[in-house]
Structure 1
Amino acid sequence: MKLPSIQWDRNSAEAPLKQLVRLVEQKQYQDRPSIPPHAKKKPVFRENNANELTKSIIAFFEVIGGHAERINSMGRQLIRDGKPVWVKGAGTDGTADISATWAGRSIKIEVKATKGEKQSDKQKQYQERIEQAGGIYLIARNMDGFIYMFFKAVEVRSNEG
């Protein structure tokens, strides 16, 4: 039996994070209907820092039938001759925080949850390369803004093709 798909309601008066909780709970029920609701952990989503906003955006993609993953481009610390040394990460300079795919579209999301935080020159160059290749690049500062920009970008791409 095919379960009904979960749809994001762009016109809902419900706050995006509340809608996300409701839809994640709905998806949990669809995925595991034998587990009673009182036995499931209630999801919690926030946007008060970059980690929380990243987690919320990734959950959004899971709910709407896409895929998203966090990209860790930070280097790592090693101990050489008893002293800590930072080694550059293997990722592309300026890479976005989240790489997502939805409806065949490549979407890169840079998370800037701290007020006044700006893109580096490397991030701007990365954005330009993604957009020149036909991908979508978004800067997320909060969930409301991200949802708006996501659907606007997807509509523009749909109208172009």
Structure 2
Amino acid sequence: MMTTNNIKAVNHSEIQSIKKHCLKSDAIKELETLAIADNRKKHPTLPDYARCTRKYSDKTANGLTTCIIDFLRFKGWQAERINCTGRYQDNTKVVTDVTGFSRRIGSAQWLPTSGQKGTADISATIKGRSIKIEVKMKDRQSEAQKEYQRQVEQAGGLYWLVRSFDEFMSFYNSLI
């Protein structure tokens, strides 16, 4: 049986701090507005109440990467995610013996990438300039990533290290 002594009173300031944590930044709201406009352009006969709107968040590295790529595409620039992981090669086969027992034989292995170590997460072209964007949430750049940044900047490209969508927007607005 639950008693009223176990219930904790929540004051107004705690509720406001919880709501503030859940609020989206102006940059994310602008991105969602661009997504709706793009959806309207692609599907002009679909009524607004029937549209599926995408929700964006920059709380994870994957979410932030999606935000950046979609924003650049909505603005008419080229952007793509760089897949720098290797690939999994499965050489196993299922063999069935005369008694009907089947088993898997062979091996599977992880093949390393053929790309350059330390490559950025996003490759984009804005106003004819090559821009490499590295998305970092809590971790730091590895030595291979620092070397890649040096090579990109030496070749005349731009390299942005981004930790939030607001930070990306400040880089973008300074370029445009």
Which range, TM-score by smaller chain? Answer: 0.7 to 0.9
Match of 2:133 in 1: 109
Matched, 1:54 2:50: no
State the partner residue of 2:41: 30
- Find the aligned partners of 1:79 and 1:33 in 2 and give their Cα distance: 45
Matched, 1:142 2:164: yes
Other structure's SS at 1:44 match: coil
Q: Given the superposition, is the C-alpha separation of residues 34 and 90 from structure 1 closer, same or farther in structure 2, using an over 3 Å criterion?
A: same
In structure 2, the residue matched to 1:45 is 56
> C-alpha distance in 1, partners of 2:108/2:141?
28
Give the partner amino acid of 1:16. Answer: A
Deviations 1:11-60 (A, max 9, x none): xxx61001100111112212332221122211111111111111000011
Give the 5 Å matches for 1:5-154.
15-79=26-90, 82-113=106-137, 115=138, 117-152=139-174, 154=175
**1:80 positional shift:** 5.7
In 2: Cα distance, 1:146 partner to 1:84 partner: 40
CA contact (8 A) 1:16 1:143 kept: yes
Q: TM-score, structure 2 length as denominator?
A: 0.73
RMSD (Å) for aligned C-alpha atoms = 1.7
Identity in percent: 41
Does structure 2 retain, via aligned residues, the 8 Å contact 1:138–1:150? no
- How many residues align? The count is 139
SS of the residue aligned with 1:151? helix
Summarize deviations over 1:80-131 as a string: whole Å, max 9, x none.
6744432111211111000111111111101112x2x111111111111111
* 1-structure distance, mates of 2:86, 2:172: 29
